[in-house]
Structure 1
Amino acid sequence: MTITLEQAQTITAAALAHGTEQGFNPLTVAVLDPGGAIVALARQDGSGYLRPDLAVGKANGVLALGMTNRAIAARAADSPEFFTSVAGLTGGKIFSVPGGVFVKDAEGTLLGGVGVTGDASLNDEAAAVAGIEAAGLVAVTGAE
């Protein structure tokens, strides 16, 4: 099973709305399927041109390594050589900061990943969680 386009569009719209309501800087949201393919991508006016790559990188990191951004950050701190190697292997498309979130259904099945960028990392993560929950799905950040 994978995330649907309808779910992905709900996530992007709700994440962007959350950011606007909270007064965040302009955000970019990427929703990927479990294999890392982009299902939906939205960039608010005023969000920098590199932001889509950053949003995809945050989501890609959790999916590619099978661990939350917090776990990736801990691994990078414990073993910088590992993270440097992985970052090099992926062309720098994996990030170790909050904002990449697993998307699961109520049964715990992995449906994809969401990456949000544009504000402080914890705000990015909060927007991702708001979007995922608006779609009736479960967000896994590693902070649970």
Structure 2
Amino acid sequence: MEVTLEMARTAIRAALDAGAEKGFRPLTAIVLDAGGHIVAFERSDGSAPGRFAIAHGKAYGAVMLGMPGSAQMKRAEDQHYFMTAMNGAFGGAVVPVPGGILIKDGDRVIGALGVTGDTSDNDVIAGLQGLEAAGLTGAA
């Protein structure tokens, strides 16, 4: 299975809607394919324009390293030099915090969803709800 544009749009819309329903601050979400290429992106009204780079960095780190943002953050806390080196290798594009959610088909990574705008934990809640609405499996 591959992440289609329809799946990506559904996941993003459902994540943004979940955030609004829960009273989260305005969210921004992006879906990348397994190669780290943008499939879809959307920003809620009122979400800061710089949130694109954060959402992208969360998703990009997840898909390129094959680990969700929560695992990247733990790795950064335990071995900051590793995440510093990885961020250097990826041109500073990695944001190693929760909200970078792997999209999986069984054991295979098929993409990532990056969500930002509220607390990282709330970003994950909205993102997982979005993936579920799209019929996708997420690893946060």
Shared fold per TM-score greater than 0.5 = yes
Q: Deviations over 1:40-77 (max 9, x none)?
A: 00001111111011101000111111112122112111
Q: Hey, what does 2:74 align to over in structure 1? A: 74
Structure 1: gaps (5+ residues): none
Q: Hey, what does 1:5 align to over in structure 2? A: 5
Q: Hey, what does 1:128 align to over in structure 2? A: 127
Residue correspondences, number: 140
Give, in angstroms, the shift of residue 86 of structure 1. 1.5
1:39 & 1:29 partners in 2: Cα distance?
11
Identity %: 49
Q: Deviations over 1:85-112 (max 9, x none)?
A: 211222221122110101123x443221
Q: Hey, what does 2:43 align to over in structure 1? A: 43
Q: Mean Cα displacement is larger for which, 77-86 or 118-127?
A: 77-86
SS at match of 1:96: coil
Q: Is the 8 A contact 2:63 2:109 kept in 1?
A: no
TM, length-normalised to structure 1: 0.92
Structure 2: gaps (5+ residues): none
SS at match of 2:129: helix
SS at match of 1:128: helix
One-letter amino acid matched to 1:117: T
Q: Is the 8 A contact 1:47 1:118 kept in 2?
A: yes
Q: Hey, what does 2:24 align to over in structure 1? A: 24
One-letter amino acid matched to 1:76: A
Q: Hey, what does 1:90 align to over in structure 2? A: 90
SS at match of 2:82: helix
